[in-house]
Amino acid sequence: MFGDMMGMMSKLKEAKKKVEETKKRLDTVLVDEASNDNKLKITLTANRTIKSIDIDDALLEDKEQLEDYLVLTLNKAIERATQINEAELAAAAKDGMPNIPGMDMFK
């Protein structure tokens, strides 16, 4: 029993290491999102750090329209980045988790 516990602890440490490595890698995964008419383009990492915002000059003439574009496009970009982030971190954690009967956290 003690050996099993040590094995589980080792697997948990391995899972933690994989998750940390995945978090670092997600800093290099870029997510691009654009408005429907491509007047606004946003790039962020899968860890949800904004890398660039490209705004068409036509949008600069109308503050309210630009604000609407920013809200909609940023929300879409953050949603996509979050989906990628959660899927990658769940996969990394699942790969390293010990098999504990009755505790399948990834169903």
d(CA 21, CA 93): 11
The model's pTM = 0.76
pLDDT < 70 stretches in the chain: 1-3, 96-107
Q: What is the pLDDT of residue 107?
A: 47
For 61-75, how does the pLDDT look when each residue is reduced to its tens digit (9 = 90+)?
A: 999 999 999 999 999
99: left (phi over 0), alpha (psi -120 to 50) or beta: beta
d(CA 68, CA 3): 58
What pLDDT is stored for residue 80 in this prediction? 97
What are the pLDDT digits (tens) for 19-33?
889 999 999 999 999
Look at the domain 2-96 and name its fold: Ybab; Chain: A; (3.30.1310)
Tell me which H or E stretch contains 30: strand 30-34
Q: Distance between alpha carbon 47 and the CA centroid of its chain, in Å?
A: 5
Taking the C-alpha atoms of residue 44 and residue 42, their distance in angstroms, rounded to an integer, is: 7
